């Protein structure tokens, strides 16, 4: 049984960075030849997912329904390319399935379905992830489970009232088994986030959360923030991550309208080489 029962006392940062690079490699291979996709957000989230799945979370790749597993809720379902990459890297799905990403009939659609092993919720409609995560956290506590819930949602979802209602609920019901990772990358479908949502960290604190703001592409900062979120003190935990879309590949980082990137077939080899050069 390969259950990851407890996070190690010390993080192996080089190993975690290598995992993040593997995730980026998998994402590039999945998107290659399809012409378009949410590759920029996936690249930006690779460090966060590596720190979660290979350091912090408890789960069993041979028993995805293990009752006391930690849950990861991906509210931004269009980040699915990153989700599938980490599920394959963790041994929950087969890497051989990854080339079917986004194709008709695939178990790996461009927005997540909860029929895919390791996926906890349907994430196509934004603004619902935190509410579901709060419900999971409350149910696990009632069951006496030691499991925790980790929920990713985006800065764009802070424009939706349902997110703030859920944030109030988590603090009211003292969900200290809940950790949210807020991906503040500054973009939405048509450009920059339009509603004035800042200061995100101060607002989460005012709503009763224990909050920390970090560079979401800094592995050391991620590991430290996750370690600090383990405390059972009656408060839900929020990690505000400032991430860069396309992180690891400067050409994609510099591209306009990075929410849904269009890449010509002729570009993929050069971009993959750029990824290896940046991380060599």
The CATH number given to whatever domain includes residue 156 is: 3.40.50.970
Determine contact, residues 126/154, Cβ cutoff 8 Å.
Answer: yes
Quote the domain boundaries for residue 109. Answer: 13-278
Q: What is the pLDDT of residues 207-232, one digit of tens each?
A: 999 999 999 999 999 999 999 999 99
Please, which pLDDT band fits residue 237 given cuts at 50, 70 and 90? very high
Please report the pLDDT score of residue 20 as a whole number: 97
Q: Note whether residue 225 is domain-resident.
A: yes
Q: What is the pLDDT of residues 43-63, one digit of tens each?
A: 999 999 999 999 999 999 999
Please, which pLDDT band fits residue 127 given cuts at 50, 70 and 90? confident
Number of domains in the chain: 1
Q: Spell out where 76-223 has E strands.
A: 149-154, 178-184, 187-188, 191-192, 210-215
Task: Provide the 3-class DSSP secondary structure of residue 187.
Answer: strand
The C-alpha atoms of residue 28 and residue 85 are separated, in whole angstroms, by: 10
Please, which pLDDT band fits residue 3 given cuts at 50, 70 and 90? very low
| Residues 99-108, mean pLDDT to the nearest whole number | 91
- Strand pairing class (261-262; 71-74): unpaired
CA atoms within 13 A on the CB side of 26: 28
In sign, the C-alpha dihedral spanning 92, 215, 228, 167 is: negative
The C-alpha atoms of residue 238 and residue 235 are separated, in whole angstroms, by: 10
Q: Note whether residue 37 is domain-resident.
A: yes
Rounded to 10 degrees, what is the CA torsion of 241, 242, 246, 252?
Answer: 170
According to DSSP, the residues that pair with 240 across neighbouring strands are 182, 213
Q: Note whether residue 85 is domain-resident.
A: yes
Q: Note whether residue 2 is domain-resident.
A: no
Q: What is the pLDDT of residues 152-165, one digit of tens each?
A: 999 988 988 999 99
- Give 14's contacts (C-beta < 8 A, 6+ positions apart): none
CA atoms within 13 A on the CB side of 168: 4
Q: Note whether residue 39 is domain-resident.
A: yes
Please report the pLDDT score of residue 1 as a whole number: 39
| The length of the chain, given as a count of residues | 280
Q: Note whether residue 5 is domain-resident.
A: no
Q: Note whether residue 79 is domain-resident.
A: yes
pTM attached to this predicted model:
0.93
Q: Note whether residue 103 is domain-resident.
A: yes
């Amino acid at each position: 049984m390969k259950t990851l029962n407890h996070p190690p006392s010390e993080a192996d940062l080089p190993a975690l960075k290598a995992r993040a690079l593997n995730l980026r490699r998998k994402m590039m291979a999945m998107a290659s030849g399809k012409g378009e996709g949410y590759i920029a957000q996936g690249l930006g989230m690779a460090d966060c997912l590596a720190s979660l799945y290979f350091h912090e979370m408890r789960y069993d790749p041979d028993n995805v329904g293990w009752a006391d597993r930690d849950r990861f809720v991906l509210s931004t379902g269009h980040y699915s390319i990153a989700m599938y990459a980490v599920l394959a890297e963790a041994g929950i799905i087969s890497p051989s399935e990854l080339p079917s990403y986004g194709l008709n009939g695939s178990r790996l659609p461009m927005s997540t379905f909860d029929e895919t092993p390791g996926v906890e919720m349907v994430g196509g409609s934004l603004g619902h992830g935190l509410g579901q995560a709060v419900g999971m956290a409350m149910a696990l506590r009632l069951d006496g489970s030691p499991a925790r819930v980790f929920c990713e949602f985006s800065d764009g979802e802070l424009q939706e009232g349902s997110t703030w209602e859920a944030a109030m609920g988590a603090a009211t019901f003292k969900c200290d088994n809940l950790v949210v990772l807020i991906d503040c990358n500054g973009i939405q479908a048509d450009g920059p986030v339009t509603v004035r949502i800042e200061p995100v960290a101060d607002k989460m604190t005012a709503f009763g959360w224990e909050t920390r703001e970090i560079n979401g592409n800094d592995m050391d900062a991620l590991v430290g923030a996750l370690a600090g979120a383990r405390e059972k003190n009656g408060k839900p935990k929020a990690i505000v991550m400032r991430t860069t879309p396309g992180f690891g590949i400067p050409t994609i980082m510099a591209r306009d309208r990075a929410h849904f990137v269009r890449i010509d077939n002729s570009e993929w080899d050069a971009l993959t080489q750029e990824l290896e050069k940046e991380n060599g």
